[in-house]
Structure formats: structure tokens, C-alpha cells
Chain A
Amino acid sequence: MIEKPEKLIDKKGVRLDGRKADELRPLKLEVGVLSNADGSAYIEHGKNKILAAVFGPREMHPKHLSRPDRMVLRCRYHMAPFSVQERKSPAPSRREVELSKVIRESLEPALFPELYPRTGIDVFVEVLQADGGTRCASITAAALAIADSGIPMRDLVVACAAGKIDDTVVLDLYDAEDKLGVADVPVAYMPNLNAVTLLQMDGILAPDEFEKAVNMAIEGCKKIYVLQKEALKTKYMNVKEEIKEETEE
């Protein structure tokens, strides 16, 4: 366990890892990293490292889980045994089962399940390294992987958390802040439709603080969305640019 420092945020408003209150951790996104999956994405969000893979739409197995009128989305969130300080048992824990459900429900509104009846799609999220806010980073990566697989979507889904440390509302908590802080509010958001698909709160916040945290998280989502879009375009842009150069020669 981490020793609790006297202050998580100093008088100047600088946090333990040197960020300001409304600053995100550095992000790196990549699309199409796995050749065996229909769609895939990789995210590095601060020290989080997460892989997401999508398979389908394909026939559902076991068959009784398929629905005659729509496509079924299945999600599996899993943390690698080496993803945290103390070895984590590879068997799905209570927390992982819950996060799988939460990720599924935050992605579902972005899909058109009625287009592909009797089929299913599988989303696999593997956390290689965790440092707080993995559910948000997982949603961001999973949405990218779905878009990469060619499954039609209403919008990309982006997620980001805000919370309270000491007595300040801050954006994008990392592991220590999450554990020692007062509250954590993860939000998943569809930027073009201005719709929230996930809203959770862990801890205690006053109504005005809650509102501030939600708005801050949505602003964070919008910033991540720009990078997310960029990452998706980059995969297909590369091809386009190579050809341009060739024809100019």
C-alpha cells in the first residue's frame, strides 16, 4: 500500500505527478495492431497499457445466446497477472466481471444491433499494465477496435474520469489519487451525439462538486476524442499518402 502523503495537491494546484487540476495524462493510441482480430486497438494512457480486440459479427456460440432480432455484444475485461504490483490471479474476479458489464453497456448505444440479427460480436480487453482509470481507457480502445473492424457505429465512444483529491475537483485520476482521493467519477461519452453512455461515482461529492466533475470529465473526453479520431485516420491515411508521393514522382 502506498504511504499517504500529507497533500495530494499542493497550494499552487500541482498534483503528485506534476499535473495541474484539469490536465490529462499523456496518451498514445494505435489502431490495427493485431492481425488475427477483425479489429484491434492499443492505448497507453499514462502508465496504463491496454489492448482491445474485436471479432465478428459472427455466429453466436453457444447458439442459445443469439437473439432472432438483433446482434449480441459480449465483452471481456481482463487484467494480466503482471499488470499490477502484486500478482493478480488470472481468474476473472468480481471486479473484472463487473467492469466487463460496464464496458459492454457503455458501448452498446453506439451500435446498430438490429442490422445483423442472430449474430454476435466479441470484444476482448486485456490490461497489460494498470495505473488507475483502466475502465475509461478500455472503453476508448474498445470503441476504436470496433470502428476498425468495420462494424457500423453511431459514434465513437470516449471515456475519461474526474474526481476529488483533498478538496479539489481534478481530471483523470491515476492509481494513487484514485486510492487516496475522496471520489472518482468515470464518464463515457459520444461526442458528436452529445450523449453520456456511462456515469459512475465512487466516493462522496457535494451536488455542485459532482456537476463540476462531470463537466470536467466530458471536457477531457472531448480532448481524447480528437486523438482517437486521429489514430483511426492514421491507419488509413498512411496508404493514401504513400500513393500521393508515388504519383508525384
Chain B
Amino acid sequence: MPTFFEAKQLVTPGELLAEGEYQAGENTYKEENKIYASRIGLADLDNKRVNVVALRAFYQPKAGDIVIGAVTEVGFNGWTIDIKSPYTAMLRASDVLSRPFKPQNDELSQVLDTGDLIVAKIASYDRAHDPQLTVGEPGLGKITRGQIMRVTPTKIPRVIGRKGSMISMIKQETGCQIILGLNGVILVTGKTTDDEELAMMAIRKIEEESHTTGLTDRIMQLLKEEKTKREENKL
């Protein structure tokens, strides 16, 4: 039962990773007891499970995920939302208005219009139906201030860090509020645009260097250096 890769080795689609009693994990597939990679990424063995951390992927909706999307269309009884995924999501009017929705009284475009950005949770999704969104929870709803950035969705776990260590560090250092959409869209809200830019710079850095170790410490150092540099410039 051999494996054919070293830990964190860069593999391409179709590369043979293991043979025998292994399980096919993320971004791999099994055929005739052999495990192959199905995306370009870094291979890893976790117990008997072979995983590939993809370097390039797109967002696959899952019920319960928090996502950030843009309104693309205002319909008769809801909105169409682009969530940067193969499927477009729907948000129902009755979900946003906390009362029964009557088309004759309510003008939907006054609540949310094309181009508006929202933080939402995926209420339901399966193969046969497009994802349904909900904003009926605290922290969800229309975005009124802050800056938006996009990263590859596979990098989001790295931005969060182990038990949220990375993201809480960035929040602390920059004093920004950061909402991570699992679809790869990130909202950064700070007191000043300077703070926001600092946080965004850190996230860019994480995205580029996501596969290296000791990243949390390096980002911390980077943020501190940048902060002192900016202080000096002000004086």
C-alpha cells in the first residue's frame, strides 16, 4: 500500500497519489483501488485519507455557509444574488421583510437594489435547486460600509487560521471588523480607510503565501512594521 507523494508536494490533475487501503479525500478520486488527484494543489496524508488542498477552485454552496453576494436582479417576490459560484442564489422578499409580503404595498427595489451587497446565510441548497439565502439572523443583511475583496475560496480556512488564530490577530492588530464569506468574498470594516487597507494587505499576503508554515507570526510582524511605518509618516 504505497503512497507516491511527499507531504505538501505540488500535484497536477491525474497524478497517482496512493494505491491500496486509502480513502479518497478532498480533490481526489478513486478508481480501481488507486487514488488520483483531480485538481492542482498540495497533497497531504491525514491518517488513511489522501487530501489535496486545491490552489484553484470555485465556491460550492453548502447549507449553513455565510456568504457575501451582490444583487443582480430585483424580481417579483425576491432578489437574484450573485454569490461567485456556479449557481446564482435567491433571496425571498418574505425573508427580508419581517411581515407578510404584499406586492401591491412593497416596492422591492427600495429595500435592496441591483448592485447592493449583502451578507447572507445559505438556507438550503441541493443538486436540483439553486441555493436559497436568508438574512434573518444578527449580523446578516445589507452592507452599508467597508471594503470588499476577493480571494480564492479554498484560501478562506487559511485566513481564519487554526481555531481562528489568524483572523482574530488581524482584527486585534488593525481594529477592523472582518466578515469572511465562505465564497471567497471578504468584507473589511474599520474606523479609517487606512486601517482597512492594512487588514486587506495582510489578507492578500496570506492568500499568496497560504501554503507556508509560521505564517501567523510573519503576518503579525508585517502588521506591526507597517503600523510603525505609518505612524512615522504621520509625524
Which of A's residues lie within 8 Å of B, judged by CB? 38-39, 56-59, 68, 110, 112, 116-119, 147-150, 152-156, 190-193, 229, 232-233, 236-237, 239-240, 243, 247
9 closest residue pairs by CB, A with B:
A155-B14, A150-B56, A153-B13, A152-B38, A57-B86, A192-B14, A150-B57, A119-B86, A243-B209
From B8, which residue of chain A is reached at the shortest CB distance?
Answer: A240
Please list 16 pairs of residues, one from A and one from B, whose beta carbons are closer than 8 Å in the complex, sorted by A's number.
Answer: A59-B86, A117-B127, A117-B128, A119-B86, A147-B12, A150-B57, A152-B13, A153-B14, A156-B14, A190-B14, A192-B14, A236-B40, A239-B209, A240-B10, A243-B208, A247-B218
Most B Cβ at <10 Å: residue of A39, A118, A149: A118
Given contacts A57-B58, A150-B56, A243-B209, contact A232 B87 (CB under 8 A): no
Residues of A within 8 A of B14 (CB): 110, 153-156, 190-193
Residues of A within 8 A of B38 (CB): 112, 152-154
Decide if A149 touches B29 in the complex (CB within 8 Å): no
- CA A84 – CA B2 in complex, angstroms? 50
Residues of A within 8 A of B58 (CB): 38, 57, 150
- CA A239 – CA B128 in complex, angstroms? 39
Most A Cβ at <10 Å: residue of B12, B127, B128, B212: B12
Most B Cβ at <10 Å: residue of A119, A190, A191, A240: A240
Quote the shortest CB–CB distance from B126 to chain A (angstroms): 10
Decide if B15 touches A192 in the complex (CB within 8 Å): yes
- CA A155 – CA B54 in complex, angstroms? 15
- CA A191 – CA B12 in complex, angstroms? 12
Question: B16 within 8 Å of A by Cβ?
Answer: yes
Decide if A240 touches B211 in the complex (CB within 8 Å): yes
- Chain B's interface size range is 20 to 34
Decide if A233 touches B56 in the complex (CB within 8 Å): no
Residues of B within 8 A of A233 (CB): 10, 12, 40
Kindly identify which residue among A58, A243, A247 contacts B86, using a CB–CB cutoff of 8 Å: A58
Question: B39 within 8 Å of A by Cβ?
Answer: yes
- CA A98 – CA B40 in complex, angstroms? 31
B residues 106-153 touching A (CB-CB < 8 Å): 127-128
From B32, which residue of chain A is reached at the shortest CB distance?
Answer: A193
Residues of B within 8 A of A117 (CB): 127-128
From B36, which residue of chain A is reached at the shortest CB distance?
Answer: A192
Question: B201 within 8 Å of A by Cβ?
Answer: no
Decide if A147 touches B13 in the complex (CB within 8 Å): yes
Query: Known contacts A57-B58, A152-B27; can you find 13 more A-B pairs with CB under 8 A?
Result: A58-B86, A118-B87, A119-B87, A147-B39, A149-B56, A152-B29, A153-B14, A156-B13, A193-B31, A232-B40, A239-B209, A240-B10, A243-B212
Quote the shortest CB–CB distance from A40 to chain B (angstroms): 12
Residues of A within 8 A of B54 (CB): 150
From B28, which residue of chain A is reached at the shortest CB distance?
Answer: A152
From A69, which residue of chain B is reached at the shortest CB distance?
Answer: B127
Decide if B12 touches A229 in the complex (CB within 8 Å): yes
Decide if B39 touches A152 in the complex (CB within 8 Å): yes
Quote the shortest CB–CB distance from B55 to chain A (angstroms): 5
Question: B177 within 8 Å of A by Cβ?
Answer: no
Question: B168 within 8 Å of A by Cβ?
Answer: no
Decide if B212 touches A116 in the complex (CB within 8 Å): no
Quote the shortest CB–CB distance from A114 to chain B (angstroms): 9
Question: B216 within 8 Å of A by Cβ?
Answer: no
Decide if A155 touches B212 in the complex (CB within 8 Å): no
From B130, which residue of chain A is reached at the shortest CB distance?
Answer: A118
- CA A190 – CA B38 in complex, angstroms? 13
From A190, which residue of chain B is reached at the shortest CB distance?
Answer: B14
Decide if B40 touches A147 in the complex (CB within 8 Å): yes
Quote the shortest CB–CB distance from B219 to chain A (angstroms): 13
- CA A118 – CA B128 in complex, angstroms? 8
Residues of A within 8 A of B208 (CB): 239, 243
